[in-house]
Chain A
């Protein structure tokens, strides 16, 4: 007996739940051969606003976790990806990647997660310091998370680049609202399903799909976003930087025109964590 085909409705992962766009709009996604594959949520600035609210709710709890526990959870995300490699490989080959390339990207992504999981309880010692001062004070500098960070992921390496941007940000206790690649959003949809089973509290990572030109102005001007990371073309970079100046947020953008090798050793570093922490220096009197 023939079965009815059961196709999946892709939904985005926001605030720990799988949602459609509040606008109810979708855009069709084709596979590499040009055949219709699925309708992807076309998120709007209001979805971005809602995701920021979700991130704000999750933030204080995530930042209060011990660094060790954050490391465990990011490691667990790596485990989830390892266990569901086949699903993710399908999502990547959908966009035209060969099986070998997909495998390579997934492996690099898992390794990147493990790399930052390891840093979670170590970056504080290296970025913080005890400072010599010419007075009877114990003077020390510690790091604190910034808050909610907006991420705009590129089209190339749709999984690896997204994780390479998100992982260092959440390692230090920030939360993320990320816009996945418009051309290849499906790996981010599958990633959402893995985040949901990874012990990562809902709202720490929020993944949106949709069109850049609709979302970039809101990423730029939303004052609750404390920083922006990602890859953008010259025009978007300008819009993001102008909006960021108005709302005083930190910007770390790669330019689309300058290709980034996400597989390279230097695509991961302690300094990627440092980019999204605030430093707090305390003067503590030590008596005569």
Chain B
């Protein structure tokens, strides 16, 4: 297969166009210079809260930890008038505990990583069984990882077939396709993988940057490459695909920069939590911290917002 790889990649690149890496870096550097203050800042922070996929993906997760995460998702802060987060994101074995904690009648959705997250290195039937069991336990959304090995070997058909198989296993659940950008090496590859995934997704399904389990996570640069892929795909086909950067977004300031990128690349149509999400565990705390600062005028200590309680 690898002998056919250069040709396959070149054909794909010809179709979708290459990425101007220097241009992307220059473009995203400007996003950090926008002045967002007062009312627009509060609006942005609240919007970001409503877009958070509150995540816990650790070996040490317990049902009780997931339950307290769910309580936080439903009521992020008692003193602030903030919206609920978009979803909680947990491992498949925790989905039923999350469903019990959230109840059936809730706007907060349950997302579950599946398909042998984070490596994806398991037989397809095992991965599909994992997806089906998560959906049966009550997951509203499935975060799958693509087969990076197949992509890098040029086996695009196989990569797409696997996405289709997972999509069908999802039923009515929303699918999020994790490209794991840190393992794709180049912006051209990220754009190519985005297109391959989007071509087999349903309207409203997501493409997602990373698992959060590797050294390099969501950056403004790879977020921008994927947003532009979504824009070009939408203009060509009319199918709106949603976007979820994940991993490494820890501060409210970063979140606002990402929202600026969405606003200036895709426009207001994507500025809601059905089209854009943040996969993050500690971001919510910093968003609340900044909202409290805007409300009281005083800078807040992080330990008021359920950060790890160190004396400092």
Contacts and interface: CB of A to CB of B under 8 A. Distances in A.
Contacts of A60: 310-312
Interface in A54-69: 55-56, 59-60, 63
B309 to A, nearest CB: 12
Q: Which of B299, B302, B311 has the most CB of A within 10 A?
A: B299
A52 B301 CA distance: 9
A221 B312 contact: no
Contacts of B299: 45, 49, 52, 218, 221-224
B282 interface: no
Nearest to B296: A221
B238 interface: no
Interface in B294-311: 296-302, 304, 310-311
B311 A144 contact: yes
A221 B302 contact: no
A85 B98 CA distance: 64
A247 interface: yes
A243 B297 CA distance: 11
A223 B301 contact: yes
A56 B311 contact: no
Interface residues of A, number: 21
Interface in B262-312: 296-302, 304, 310-312
A59 B302 CA distance: 14
Interface in A103-160: 144-145, 147-148
Chain B interface SS verdict (over half): loop
A63 B300 CA distance: 22
Interface in A225-250: 243, 246-247
A145 B297 CA distance: 27
Nearest to A46: B299
Contact of B301 (A45, A224, A243, A246): A224
Contacts of A147: 311-312
Contacts of A145: 311
Interface string A144-181: 11011000000000000000000000000001000000
B302 A56 contact: yes
Q: Which of B297, B300, B301, B312 has the most CB of A within 10 A?
A: B312
Interface of A: 45, 49, 52, 55-56, 59-60, 63, 144-145, 147-148, 175, 218, 221-224, 243, 246-247
29 contacts: A45-B299, A49-B299, A55-B312, A56-B312, A59-B312, A60-B310, A60-B311, A60-B312, A63-B311, A145-B311, A147-B311, A147-B312, A221-B296, A221-B297, A221-B298, A221-B299, A222-B298, A222-B299, A223-B298, A223-B299, A223-B300, A223-B301, A223-B304, A224-B299, A224-B301, A224-B302, A243-B298, A246-B298, A247-B298
